[in-house]
Amino acid sequence: MAQIPRRVAILGGARIPFARANSAYSEVGNQDMLTAVFKSLVDKYSLKGERLGEVAAGAVIKHSRDWNLARESTLGSGLHPTTPAYDLQRACGTSLSAIVQLGYRVALGEIDCAIGGGADSTSDIPLSYGKGLQRILLKSNRGRSFLEKLEPWSAFRLKHLKPMPPSVGEPRTGMSMGQHCEEMAKEWKISRRAQDELALKSHLNAAAAWQAGFFKDLVAEFNGLKSDNNVRGDTSLEKLSKLKTSFDRSEAGTLTAGNSSPLTDGAACVLLGSEEWARQRGIPILCFLSYSETAAVDFVGMAGKKEGLLMAPAYAVPRMLHPFAATGARVVATLAKQLAERGSGRGLISICAAGGQGVTAILER
C-alpha cells in the first residue's frame, strides 16, 4: 500500500484568455469554455483516452442545462468516458476548493490523478421570469385536457414577460461585492491613491508577463482571443485618478472601474496527482500542495460583531500557518509555474468568496 498521506503534486495547468463580459465570449457559455480548457490540458499532457481518478469543477452563475457541467465537459475533453466528475460551487473559491478536495483524495491514496477547475460567464447568464409566469406554466402543465391546460393562461399579463437576471448582490444585505468592499476600504482607511497604485502595478506586471511569454504554455487561444483583454498595460496613475467612482458616487467613494476587478468570462483547470503517477508518465512536478484552510465571517452582524464581507482570508491564512509552516485554478497554475522556474520556495493563495467566506492554500517546492 502507498504511504499515507502522500504528497500532492501540482503538475501543470491550462486556461483560455480571460475576456471582459460581453466581449469575445458573448456567444459561448460555461460548458464551451470548460471543455476547451480540459481539451487543452489533455493535449498538453498526452492524456487522450486515459481514465483519470476524478474531475471536479464548477461555475458560480450557470444555466439549469449545466447542472452536470463538469461531467459533460469531461466527456468532451478526450479523456476516457469512464472518468468520473462532479460539480461544486463556493463562489470565487470554487476551483481552489475543487483542487483542495481532489488533493485530499490523492493524499489518502484513493486516486492517483485528477483535474480541478472552474468556468464562469457573466455574458451568457440565465434569465428567469418570476413566480407569476412560473405558476401559470406549472398549472398548465398539470392540466389533463386541452381546456385544463388553457385555463391558467387567462391570468397571463405582459408584465409576466419581464426578465429577472441573476443578482450580483448578497441575498442578506442586497449589496454587491463592490459596495461591501467600499465599506471595508473606509473602515480600514485604504485610500483611493493606494488602490490605484496597486491596480497600476497589477496591470503593468500582467502586461510584462504576457510580453515575456510567461503565459505561452498556460493559455490556449479560444474563440479568436489569444490573450487576456482585460489587462491595461498602457494605463497610468493619471488615467486611473480621472475615473469616476463606481459604488459610492460621493466624494468619500474610492473604488472605480480602474482599481476594481471587471466582470469577466473565462475558464481554467489544473492537473494534480501523486509523485509516482507523475514519474510513470514523465511529467515534471512543478510544486506540491501543502496546506489549505477555509473560513467565514459574520458580515451581516447576526452574532453581534459585523465584519467586512471579504475579510475571511485574513482568518484562514493565520489558522493555516499556525501550527503549520491559495482565484482558484488560474492562480494555482500560475503560481506553480513561477515556483518551478525559481527552483524552490513557497507561495500563498488567498481567495475571498461570497457569503463572507475565504479559501486559502500553500504551494511549495
State the catalytic residues: 92, 322, 352
Task: Determine the residue type at 288.
Answer: F
What is the spatial distance between Cα 301 and Cα 226, in angstroms, rounded to a whole number?
Answer: 45
Give how far the C-alpha of residue 127 lies from the chain's centroid of Cα atoms, to the nearest Å.
21
Q: For residues 42 and 77, is the Cβ–Cβ distance under 8 A?
A: yes
What is the spatial distance between Cα 285 and Cα 345, in angstroms, rounded to a whole number?
Answer: 14
Tell me which residue of 89, 101, 98 sits closest to 116, measured CA to CA.
98
By DSSP bridging, strand 85-87 and strand 54-58 are parallel
Tell me which residue of 243, 258, 254 sits closest to 186, measured CA to CA.
254
What is the spatial distance between Cα 199 and Cα 206, in angstroms, rounded to a whole number?
Answer: 11
Q: For residues 74 and 55, is the Cβ–Cβ distance under 8 A?
A: yes
DSSP 8-state code for residue 59:
-
Q: For residues 220 and 14, is the Cβ–Cβ distance under 8 A?
A: yes
By DSSP bridging, strand 113-120 and strand 287-296 are unpaired
By DSSP bridging, strand 346-353 and strand 357-364 are antiparallel
Q: For residues 92 and 327, is the Cβ–Cβ distance under 8 A?
A: yes
What is the spatial distance between Cα 9 and Cα 114, in angstroms, rounded to a whole number?
Answer: 10
What is the spatial distance between Cα 256 and Cα 242, in angstroms, rounded to a whole number?
Answer: 10
What is the spatial distance between Cα 235 and Cα 196, in angstroms, rounded to a whole number?
Answer: 11
Q: For residues 104 and 289, is the Cβ–Cβ distance under 8 A?
A: no
